[in-house]
Amino acid sequence: MSQKSRDGDKKSITQRIKSACNTTTLIIAAVVIVLLLAVVDMLGLADLSPLSGALLLLAAMIVAVIILGQFTFGLSERMVKFIKRLIVVTTILEIFVFNFNSFHLIFGDYKEQVLDLSRATVTNFDTKTMSNLSDGVTSLEFLSLDMPVGTLTVDASSDKNATVEIDIDFTDDTYSARYRTGEANITPIYGNERSRTVPCNFSGDVHKLKLSFKAEGGEKVTVKSIAVNKPIDFSFSPVRFFLIIFLSVTVYMLAFSGRLKKSFSENERTVKGIAYVFTAALIVIALVLTNAGRYKDQSHSIIKDLTMTSGNQLTQELVDAFEDGHTYLNIEPSEKLMALENPYDRSQRDEAQIGPHPWDHLLYDGKIYSYYGIAPVVTLFLPYHLLTGHYFPSSWAVWLFGCIGIYFLTKLYLAFAGKFFKDIRSSLVLMGLFMMQIISGVWFNFHIANFYEIAQTSGFACVTAGAYFMIKSNVIGDGKVSRLNAALSSVFLSLAVLCRPTLAVYCVAALIFIAAGVLKLRRDKKQEDTFVKTYLPYLLCALLPFVLIGSVQMLYNYVRFGSVFDFGIQYSLTVNDFTKAEYHTHFVIIGLFNYLFAIPRSSSTFPFLNFYSVEQFNSQGYYFVAVASAVGIIWRALPTLAYAKGMRAYALSDRKNRGLYTAMLIAVCIIAPFIIMFSIWESGYSPRYGLDFNWQMLLGALIISFIIYRRCKENTKKHLNSLMIISLIISLILCFAQTYNFVIDSLPLELKAQALSFGRLFEFLR
């Protein structure tokens, strides 16, 4: 070994020793800080709760940055620097932003005091049980407080709701003659101690203080204590901290990862690995949402679920009817219902007080029928009952169908990208998949699993599976035409119609793909091939399932209503009389606007966006709104704006097949979704209807985007990748917020409290 090499080794060893010494010194310093603050807190030498918490977190940050610097775990130097800075920034956010109110009492002479409830002036309040006497407003009034109030802590709970809504009226030195009203409030969350305290920005002494509690429908509100000037403890949230770290690192990887800069073809294994891990995570999220809905039954279990002796319209009523050999349900309409002049008129049913009746069932010729599709019945519910004697649970059916749809949507997307867009940057391919899954609309179905959600998710599963097998049949792109995959595609698309009749539009669109297969066979035909040998087997595989399964639906319609084209929706016992409902273009516009263009509105509470509105454009008529949670797809999926560049993409695409492929894109991604949106005007608005067309519209936009992308300059490609990252972030925020607002009110008390507590982690001003 040369002298130069020895000197280099000595230098390297010296640097390592110095680094180790520096590391040891900093770690010791951090540990000493922690121990000293712990001793101060234990002995009660000083009230350092906000300061001690901040210093503890700073000490932890120092340790984390040091460890990351010493052990890079194979990360690039650039990534290590980014994570170090990210830890510092996130720590600063924890201390100075998310714990903003912990420092609220530092500047001011605030004396902590628990108020004597027995000395309060009360309205509609029982001082013995410390609860309200009846529904309405209950108030506690303190008339001679005469002290500065920096915080107010109310330990109150409801026996029915996850929160207690409390209005705070006050007089202070700036407004002493009468109460200031509507300026302050507090909302304690069940089981969340931090939510019981609210910072107060009053001026001078507070002289009078009035707390008004709202109770509804037999709700009992109990107050345990009220205190003023209680310090707001410093609170470090590992969930919040690591969520910020995880999302930031993900964004960084999508923007700068060397591996994800490679094309899909160079990086296919990695892309597929990430895609399937992401899909598995979505299935787990679906499971969580499903269990959130089942949580209302505290005694639920898998065994109990799988041995159910009752069910709903699809899981039991149709099963029993088919086993008894008829299509009408084993439900007899009441004499009161049949005696009505028009039983389809809800106002007449309510006026006559006919009592419980089969809601959203069909009444025709004295019999009760089901409007909802029979595919999930004949493929799952009926076989399960025949084999076990029990009814398959609705909640698990929705989860199963939803997860099948999620899985096949990933399979479809990867197969399509692998066939046509292998040269596209890996990060773009992945972000397209992430966004498509996020905006699909399946997330509105898991927490409440009724026959409506069974129809939606089973249709979603069948359409995605049918589309996947259509791509795998190779009727477009390279590869030999596969008759088996063509047949499977037709089977699943046909079953989709037996789930939801509106999905028949995709069967019609599929005929273009089947025709493309014929053209491909013709192009690849060998001299000795004949019609019987080449075309007939393919056409039988591709079309026969449509004929056979479609015939089942038509026969089912005929047996019930005497017409093969009558699905029976007009006979529904529902919110409106569909037998006399008239078409109004105004209602179509309402649906189109809310599904496509509805603008999200900001809110001061988590998730900081309010979707509790559906724009009805002063319709001057009855338009049904199932759940008021609307935001347009162009906001949830900004790449849909790429349709404006459709002609440019057409000009840049391969001339050989661009006419055929353009027809397919227009049929599947534009015409079919618009027909569905148009057709559901009578059913009104619900965000879960988007499951029938959201991902299809985004897929078409991504195709246009990718075609344009491959012709851009390298610098422009970087900017487009950045725009896609921004679009994905916006999509995640909007879709999470919409789903959160959609789900939150239907959760049982404890789960709603947990969801609200999660939101409170980010409401730093509260």
Tens of pLDDT, residue by residue over 715-748, are: 999 999 999 999 999 999 999 999 998 888 888 8
Do both 543 and 668 map to the same domain? Answer: no
pLDDT per residue as tens digits for the range 578-628: 988 888 998 999 999 999 999 888 888 889 988 777 888 888 888 888 877
Helix (H, G, I), strand (E, B) or coil at 181: strand
Q: Are 391 and 308 in contact (CB under 8 A)?
A: yes
686 within some domain = yes
**Residue 538 and residue 682 in one domain:** no
Say if 280 falls within a structural domain.
yes
Q: How confident is the model at residue 20 (pLDDT cuts 50, 70, 90)?
A: very low
Tell which residue, 186, 386, 400, 407, has the closest CA to residue 282.
407
One domain for residues 655 and 754: yes
What's the token pair of residue 665?
Answer: 């894109």
Q: Which of 487, 592, 594, 590 is nearest to 544 (CA)?
A: 487
Instruction: Answer yes or no: do 640 and 680 share one domain.
Output: yes
Task: Please give the distance of CA 339 from its chain centroid, rounded to a whole number.
Answer: 44
Same domain, 697 and 589: yes
Euclidean distance between CA atoms 105 and 201, whole angstroms = 11
Is the domain of 398 the same as that of 466? yes
Helix (H, G, I), strand (E, B) or coil at 262: coil
Q: Which of 562, 583, 601 is the last residue of a domain?
A: 562
**% of the chain exceeding 70 in pLDDT:** 89
- Domain termination site, one of 536, 562, 588: 562
Task: Return d(Cα 244, Cα 404) in angstroms, integer.
Answer: 30
Whether residue 699 sits in one domain with residue 613: yes
pLDDT higher at 649 or 68: 649
Query: pTM to 2 decimals?
Result: 0.88
pLDDT value, residue 611 = 75
Residues 59 and 71 in one domain: yes
Report if residue 7 sits inside a domain: no
pLDDT tens per residue across span 671-692: 999 999 999 888 889 999 999 9
- Which pLDDT score, from 0 to 100, does residue 484 have? 96
Q: Residue 4 domain-assigned?
A: no
Q: Flag whether 667 is in a domain.
A: yes
pLDDT score of 249 more than 90: no
Asked, for residue 301, whether it belongs to a domain, the answer is no
Residues 619 and 588 in one domain: yes
pLDDT at 257: 87
Mean per-residue pLDDT over the chain, rounded: 87
Question: Which domain, by its residues, includes 602?
Answer: 257-295+393-472+575-760
Of the listed ranges 32-46, 472-486, 557-571, 704-718, the least confidently predicted one is 32-46
277-281, 404-408, 656-660: range with highest mean pLDDT: 404-408
**Encoded tokens for 109:** 């002479």
| pLDDT value, residue 694 | 97
Do 246 and 328 lie in one domain? The reply is no
Q: What is the mean pLDDT of residues 438-456?
A: 93
Spell out the residues 6+ positions from residue 139 whose beta carbon is closer than 8 angstroms to its own: 122, 123, 124, 125, 210, 211, 212, 213
Please check whether residue 10 lies inside any domain of the structure: no
Phi-psi region of 396 (alpha: psi -120 to 50; beta: other; left: phi over 0): alpha
Residue 54 pLDDT? 58
- When divided into structural domains, the chain yields a total of 5
> Do residues 436 and 323 both lie within one domain?
no
Which sign, positive or negative, has the C-alpha torsion 728, 731, 735, 736? positive
Residue 528's pLDDT is 65
For the stretch 158-216, pLDDT in tens is: 988 999 999 999 999 999 999 999 999 999 999 999 999 999 999 999 999 999 998 88
Question: 3-state class of 681 per DSSP?
Answer: coil
Mean pLDDT of 380-402: 96
Alpha-carbon gap, residue 392 to 380, rounded angstroms: 8
**Residue 384 and residue 397 share a domain:** no
- The domain spanning residue 205 has which CATH number? 2.60.120.260
Residue 341 lies in a domain: yes
Are the CB atoms for 569 and 371 separated by under 8 Å?
Answer: yes
Q: In whole angstroms, give the CA distance from residue 742 to residue 689.
A: 13
